[in-house]
Amino acid sequence: MRAGTRRMRAAVWYGARDVRIAEVDIPAPRPGEVLIEVAYCGICGSDLHEYTDGPHAIPVVEPHPASGAMAPLVLGHEFCGTVVAVGPSVTGLTSGDRVAVEPNYRCGTCPRCRAGEYNICRHFGFAGLMGNGGMAEYAAVPAYMAHRLPEAVSLRQAALFEPASVALHALRRAGVAPETVAVVGLGPVGLLTVRLAAERNVRRIVAVDVSPDRLHRAAGLGATDLVDAGAEEGVGERIRELTGGDGVDVAFEVVGSETALRTCLAATRRGGRVVLVGLASQVSLDTFALVNNEQSIVASVGYRDTYPELIRLVAEQGLDLTPVVTSTIALDALVLDGFGALLDGPGNQVKILVAPAAHRDGLDHLVPCGASAGTATLGTSNRLGRC
């Protein structure tokens, strides 16, 4: 931390369509907490939902039981950075440690926590949604959230560990190692599901989306077959054709819609499994067909015990998660170039990272990252920047 610094800039959620880049006090780490200088914080679909028509998860009536926080609060749960201070009773971490933040609150005492299933803790929540998060220059979080990074893992890679954890947990929920999978929906989590399935040597990976750009990205991440859901009818039947008429072993629903779920069921073989990753409110099912085909539908929420594996995969096996990053922006550009770009619909933006300290270097804009064809600068102003 810079000498004499007591204030910081942060993206504070006050209400729907009311996110302010404000100057607030730098939090002091409490017992069991660490203070992190944030390097990057990704924009998640959850952030967009809270911005457009929240609150959904953000507590506004009473504080969250695990964090003790309520609105207004700092957004952002996909973040990483460097420890600059440690609170009382913290061991194993010290100032200067680079860390990836696993932003799950957990109580540690409920039955599910005692069973090791802390992602379904009675008081589960995320820093950045149920407590103050990482769209700020500094963030104070419980020390159990901070995973120290080896030198071989860059902070840019670590910025993707949170959405990659959602994908990894979904792959684990698939059960036995599948030979064929379909990934329906190629947002950041869908694309990372493709990448991690390829890392696991899944023989056939069918990627499905309405965006040609995202299909192109999926091919670069390891998809063996591409299905344009916007151009083809009978997507489920098309996937069956690609698998010799049987269907895939596992289909991942990463959209959160009844149509996508029906596509997954139609694409999955008898005895196969559909993993629900997307969030849909209500759906209807043909349970007669579900039973007769002996298909399983399994839900996947959040993640647990994923960060150590991701650190190992990046450090030891050269896993590269960064191709899903399409732009990096400064904090001041969050609402216009961050939320605005992603809310414009399926285009050439996939994962946008916010660099909260970028303004210190005179950067106040969005920069496209040339990871894929079709990436273009947003807006017409003379913005400069970095990826």
Taking a C-beta distance cutoff of 8 angstroms, is the pair 148, 102 a contact? Answer: no
Residue 371 CB-half CA count within 13 A: 26
Q: Does domain 166-299 have CATH number 3.40.50.720?
A: yes
pLDDT score for 131: 98
Cα 339–Cα 385–Cα 351 angle in degrees, nearest 5: 40
User: Residues of the chain whose pLDDT is less than 50?
Assistant: 3, 364-366, 370-387
H/E stretch holding 214: helix 212-221
Map residue 281 onto helix, strand or coil. coil
For strand 180-184 and strand 204-209, is the pairing parallel, antiparallel, or unpaired?
A: parallel
pLDDT score for 1: 58
Residue partners of 57: CB distance under 8 A and separation at least 6: 46, 50, 125, 126, 129, 130
pLDDT score for 281: 82
pLDDT score for 367: 55
Compute the distance between CA of residue 57 and CA of residue 68 in angstroms, rounded to an integer.
14
For strand 33-42 and strand 351-355, is the pairing parallel, antiparallel, or unpaired?
A: antiparallel
pTM of the model: 0.92
Residue 46 backbone zone (phi > 0: left; psi -120 to 50: alpha; other: beta): alpha
Taking a C-beta distance cutoff of 8 angstroms, is the pair 137, 37 a contact? Answer: yes
pLDDT score for 360: 60
Ranges of H-type helices in 83-139: 111-114
Compute the distance between CA of residue 249 and CA of residue 143 in angstroms, rounded to an integer.
39
pLDDT score for 387: 40
Render pLDDT for 335-387 as a digit per residue (tens, 0 to 9).
989 999 999 876 789 999 999 987 665 554 445 564 333 332 223 222 323 34
Taking a C-beta distance cutoff of 8 angstroms, is the pair 249, 180 a contact? Answer: yes
* CATH architecture of the domain with residue range 7-160+321-325: Alpha-Beta Complex (3.90)
pLDDT score for 287: 92
DSSP class of 62: S
pLDDT score for 374: 31
Compute the distance between CA of residue 132 and CA of residue 76 in angstroms, rounded to an integer.
8
Where in the chain are the domains?
Answer: 7-160+321-325, 166-299
Taking a C-beta distance cutoff of 8 angstroms, is the pair 71, 58 a contact? Answer: yes
Tokens describing residue 304: 């647990």
pLDDT score for 338: 95
pLDDT score for 372: 35
Phi, psi at 139, each rounded to 5°: -145, 135
